[in-house]
Amino acid sequence: MAVRKSIPESELALRDSMWPDAEVRFWHPRLHGAFISIPKTLPFLGRMMDEMSKNFPVSETYATLWCWTWDNNAYTRLNHIEEMAFAAGFTGQRGIRTFQDRLKRLEALGFVELKAAGNSKMAFAYLPNPHAVIFRHFEALTSPSATSEAKELARGLQEGTFNAFLARAQELGCKDVIAMLEARAAAAAAA
């Protein structure tokens, strides 16, 4: 009986069959440094963030913040705000102000927590688990008992996008998402 290879092994074998020299050409984070871990659900999270911040996209700002953190700490200093604004796509005289506006919007949505220091109202940023944040928004959107403020923040979030996020998270085996789904199912069964 043949032993089934793990998905990563089979994917590497497939990659190497098409690009035999891939191993020596790809950017390997452990060898080259300057890497962070990101959720594989980030494209879905970014889309949902942008849906909730209609006409003021925040996903590039969020991705920039994430790339300024160190692996496994979800925290950054905002002492290079000019560079961060540029990296997020905001340039010119209003670039920094626009970046700061997006930070405030992300904070209002709960994806970022900001702290002041000295004269700076935005000196530090912490990024809580975005899966938990998006679950809170979806619950607010669908719960009749949610506050009007919570519903207003979640307005724009599309059920189809949330379901696509759930499907991808479950495919990836995101333990936090699975636990939140189980808790939601238990609460529904108890009600």
Residue 79 is assigned to a structural domain of this protein: yes
pTM of the predicted protein model: 0.89
Residue ending a domain, among 80, 101, 126, is: 126
Burial of 38 (0-12, 13-18, 19+ CB in 10 A): middle
Residue 87's domain spans which residues? 56-126
The neighbour count for residue 98, using CB atoms within 10 Å, is: 18
- Cα separation, 34 vs 3, whole angstroms: 36
Residues 70 and 120 in one domain: yes
Q: Is the pLDDT score of 55 beyond 50?
A: yes
Residues 115 and 156 in one domain: no
**Token code pair at residue 41:** 């659900």
Residue 135 is assigned to a structural domain of this protein: yes
| pLDDT tens track for 85-143 | 999 999 998 999 999 999 999 999 999 999 999 999 999 999 999 999 999 999 999 99
Residues 135 and 122 in one domain: no
Residues 80 and 121 in one domain: yes
Q: Is the pLDDT score of 2 beyond 60?
A: no
Residues 115 and 135 in one domain: no
Cα 12 versus chain centre, distance: 26
Cα 129 versus chain centre, distance: 8
Residue ending a domain, among 108, 126, 144, is: 126
Number of domains present in the structure of the chain: 2
What is the arithmetic mean of pLDDT over 52-64?
Answer: 96
Long-range contacts of 135-144, Cβ-Cβ distance < 8 Å, separation of 24 or more: 135/177, 135/180, 135/184, 136/110, 137/48, 137/52, 137/109, 137/110, 138/162, 139/184
Residues 158 and 119 in one domain: no
Distance spanning both ends of the chain, measured CA to CA: 48
